[in-house]
Structure 1
Amino acid sequence: MIQTVLEPNHLGIAPGQRLNAAEFYQLCMTYPDQSLELTANGELIIVSPVGGIGGAQEASLIGQVWAWNATKKLGQVFSSSTIFRLPNGAHRSPDVAWVKLGRWQTLTEIERQKFPPLCPDFVIELRSPSDRLIVLQEKMQEYLANGCHLAWLIDLQNQQIEIYRPGLACETQSLPTRLEGGELLPGLVMTIN
């Protein structure tokens, strides 16, 4: 996915204007066909759609996590269309996200319907050919800083996966590899080619 900071005039935003959570939500409702994110300092980011190969890979990842969760019933799985309102104020939409059931159930119905005000417990980001690696690596660190417990950055261009955990150095594995969810996602085993 190409991530670009939008020029404010493209969406009727005054130059230099920073958006708050309510304004960002309204903007997303006004432009439902536009995939948007918001940085912690209020900068608007447009996320380009993926192509066929990327879409199929993303669907496979979501499907594997969903199938595991359907048997374990430990949480809720989300697609890349879901925007999460992180504690630092950023609004992010990982390619695959999972939230522990207890945390999901503490949200009100309105919080569930809008952009959930929490950071997922587990995320997967799939690097598209147009993505800058450093931008995705910074995003992974942002997830960790906001409470994520496990994050996988799948980089098919470099044939590797970066595994992020709080308090630990990033671990890199070459593809193909077999990934396990560990204590957070017991029994989740995914083979990534």
Structure 2
Amino acid sequence: MQAITLTIPPNLNVFSDDELYAFCLANPELRIERDETGHIIIMSPTGLESSFTSGELFGEVRNWNRQTKAGRTSESNGGYTLPDRSMRAPDVGWISKERLMTVMPEELKKFAHVCPDFVIEVRSESDNVEELQLKMEKWISNGVRLGWMVDPKTQTTTIYRPQTTPETKAFSDTLSGEDVLVGFSLNIQDVLNY
């Protein structure tokens, strides 16, 4: 099942940030995001294979962060309110200490107004690749410094950076955290046993 987008009629006010948070709390069984126009996006749960992939990738980033203590790592339940007013939750997110210092601690209890430095989105069985590519571009335009779109179907990772054409690498290639996740490298083929 693909994501469902609920269109809010123009004569109604779009959910405020607090109302969106309350709506998500009232519907804990749903995975909810909001796009930049205020439309509510309801996504189906992923299959186990996608969950395994996301979990392994989260673990790799989390382990690197445990060693470096350079920031914080989030998984797919952590929502970020972005500069364009969308609220998105990447499969894996990482935010530097520097960006975290711009957020009040009480705001972290909800969908904080901050953009992660790094995201990973895993293409699940139900994802439309064009929509996922657009989502990656929106992550970058909102301030993500490095993003990976991992596609188990094609066994490729597309790397997104600001003001650069996306670059695609095979799972057998080693990926670098570049100047964002300094010292981090990952070979997805080795991690996922492809």
Cα separation, 1, equivalents of 2:19 and 2:136 = 25
| Equivalent residue in structure 2 for 1:80, among 67, 76, 83 | 76
Matches of 1:43 and 1:22, distance apart in 2: 15
Contact 1:65 1:77 in 2 (8 A): yes
| Equivalent position of 2:53 in the other structure | 57
Deviation of residue 81 (structure 1)?
Answer: 0.4
Equivalent in the alignment of 1:5: 5
- 1:35-184 → structure 2 map (5 Å cutoff): 35-184=31-180
By how many angstroms is 1:2 displaced? 3.2
Distance 1:33 1:148, change over 3 A: same
Q: Give the letter for the 2:166 counterpart.
A: C
Q: Would you say how many aligned residue pairs link Structure 1 and Structure 2?
A: 188
* Aligned AA (2:159): I
**Which blocks of at least 5 consecutive residues in structure 2 are unaligned?**
190-194
TM-score by length of 2: 0.91
Query: Alignment identity in percent?
Result: 35
8 Å Cα contact 1:74/1:100 also seen in 2: yes
What amino acid does structure 2 have at the position aligned with 1:93?
A
Which deviates more, 61-70 or 105-114?
105-114
Q: C-alpha deviations, 1:84-132, integer Å up to 9, x for none? A: 0001000000000000012113311211111111111000000001100
TM-score (norm 1): 0.91
Q: What per-residue deviation string (whole Å, max 9, x for no partner) do you get for residues 2-31 of structure 1?
A: 3221377xxxxx797432322211111211
> Is the contact made by 2:80 and 2:89 (CA closer than 8 Å) also made in structure 1?
yes
Residue 103 of structure 2 contacts residue 114 of structure 2 at CA under 8 Å; is this kept in 1? no
Farther-moved stretch of structure 1 (154-163 vs 128-137): 154-163
